[in-house]
Structure 1
Amino acid sequence: MKTYQNAPDWRNLARAARNEWVPHVPLYEHIIGAKVIYEITGNRPYDGMFSPDMAQSRESFQQYWDFWRCMGYDTASMEFAFTGILPGAGALGGHKEGAIQTREDFERYPWEELPDRFFERYAPYIRAFSETAPPGMMAVGGVGNGVFESVQDIVGYMDLCFIREDDPELYAGLFQRMGEAQCAVWKR
């Protein structure tokens, strides 16, 4: 694999975002697929990132960082999926029936638990990812899945459309509560 010999400096991307001069135009990708990383490096970092074996997780994160560094990036993109901690999730990606179909479902949903669930699930992996960062590099990302994606994952797109028409207060409440939960994670 041909690698670039730049010294990574995450500040290049931050400066470019502020429209300031940088020594080279920083590369940015929101995400790079597993197949691409495998074809270039022969490694499959995504397979072990969230392993219960933290040594395997750290090794996978190291492979992930190495890919970005060797390809000439100053940063690596990473998201920790909010949908991964939602009780009854799966309507978005798994095409399951949504956990929230009615006002009663909404009232019973454990909204207050979501920030704690996020950190219980991801804190060890966030630490491992951070600790394996090469000198000069930082991550871009954080909490993956926005408010709309997360609401869609616990309601379903079609049902969300019906709720919007049939119960505008419930529709607004879904986005309000999901937004509050995600905001609580960002503030921690």
Structure 2
Amino acid sequence: KYCKLEDTAIKPKPDFNQLLKVLWRDGQPDYIPFYELFVNLPVMETILGKKLPDRAATVEFYYKAGYDYVPVWPGLEMEKGSLVDRRLGYPIKNREDFNHYSWPEPASITFSEFDAVIPILPEGMKIIGQTGGIFETAQELCGYEGLCYLLADDRKLVREIFERLGLLYEECYCGMAKIKEVGAVVISDDLGFKTQTLISPEDLREFVLPWWKKLAGIIHKEGKPCILHSCGNLSAIMEEIINDVQIDAKHSYEDAILPVTEAKKIYGNRIAILGGFDVNKLCRSTEKEIREYVNLLIDDVGTSGGYALGSGNSIADYVPVENYLIMLDEGWKKRYY
């Protein structure tokens, strides 16, 4: 039974340059690296058998689990509603709310977690910087339904909301990208669900994708790759995401939308493909099935380069720890092709 990292074949020897080869699609790396947007805190604590009180404490987990990086977030306090708790209202419902909203200053963004992680980074590891997305934050300010009404009733206000958020995001991404120990930066912004985007492709092109393009430009200016994590069916806008936003890698794949094996065939000659072990499949499969699917991913998606092994989304707290560790164990055993 796989309960802890010592039960796996993993012998940590991080080398972020191998993940960089994947992200830039710069030939075949020496091995197929691991990639996750993040591993949920309860999963990390269960595996290590102890509490992890802060971001710096997670370094031990990502190192021992065979990753070549640690994901780290900047800090920014904003008053927001909840997308899941409908008892809470949303702070911006109209122009008056917008005018009275207490917008944080860009200078209030903090990078203290980066400062805490940098001194204890193991040799060969880097940080991957990431934060929640501009579209997601607009939803948390207005509510999904409220944002849809505003798109119909007051598009000028929608534009101003995204402009105010954009100033914060530009500062945030400039700060992350300039840190020497940051090896790549993620735009993490869920835009869709199983069958289509959450708002029309035209509205995304008008309000969201231009900001993504600016953030990708900030990342590239520092000579670092831009990873996109975005859930949902993005087929209507993928060409713009690749050609105009100019992402380097895409993460988040669901078999019900576009299996990662198909994504590799369609997009793999232009962007790196990350993860893709469908989370539902990871949760429900037997050990034999998990090992077989890891081998399929490595053989079908990984052998031509531009691929890192991991889940289709993230390691949520409902993912069985044993199943996750089996995926890592098989991935480590087969990583050298």
TM-score for the superposition, normalised by structure 1: 0.79
Match of 1:116 in 2: 107
How much has 1:163 moved relative to structure 2?
Answer: 1.1
The aligned residue for residue 41 of structure 1 is 48
- 2:126 aligns to what? 138
Which ranges in structure 1 are unaligned for 5 or more consecutive residues?
50-59
**Residues 178 and 90 of structure 1: CA distance in aligned 2, closer, same or farther (over 3 Å):** same
Q: Distance in 1 between matches of 2:154 and 2:11?
A: 57
Match of 2:32 in 1: 25
Amino acid at match of 1:33: N
> How many angstroms apart in 2 are the aligned matches of 1:90 and 1:131?
35
Deviation at 1:5, TM superposition (A): 2.1
Q: Report how far residue 183 of structure 1 moved.
A: 0.8
Cα-Cα RMSD: 2.0
Separation in 2 of the partners of 1:44 and 1:90?
29
| 1:150 maps to 2:141 | no
Which residue of the other structure, out of 46, 65, 76, is the alignment partner of 1:71? Answer: 65
Matched-pair contact (CA < 8 Å) for 1:91–1:155: no
Structure 2 CA distance for aligned equivalents of residues 153 and 105 of structure 1: 14
CA distance in 1: counterparts of 2:117 and 2:106, whole angstroms: 20
What is aligned with 1:61?
A: 56
8 Å contact from structure 1 (residues 93, 153) kept in 2:
no
The answer as to 2:155 corresponding to 1:168 is yes
Structure 1 residues 141 and 152: alpha-carbon distance in aligned structure 2, compared to 1, 3 A threshold: same
Normalized per residue, the structure richer in helix is 1
Pick the aligned partner of 1:128 from 116, 119, 129: 116
Deviation at 1:99, TM superposition (A): 1.1
Out of 164, 170, 184, the residue aligned to residue 183 of structure 1 is 170
Contact 2:15 2:124 in 1 (8 A): yes
Q: Distance in 1 between matches of 2:119 and 2:100?
A: 38
Question: What secondary structure, in the 3-state scheme, does the structure 1 residue paired with 2:73 have?
Answer: strand
Aligned to 1:98: 90
Contact 2:106 2:171 in 1 (8 A): yes
CA shift at 1:94, angstroms? 4.3
Distance 1:71 1:89 in 2: 34
Partners of 1:155 and 1:33 in 2: how far apart?
A: 27
Q: Which amino acid aligns with 1:70?
A: K
Gaps of 5+ in 2: 176-337
Kindly tell me the number of residue pairs found equivalent between the two proteins.
167
TM-score w.r.t. the length of structure 2 is 0.46
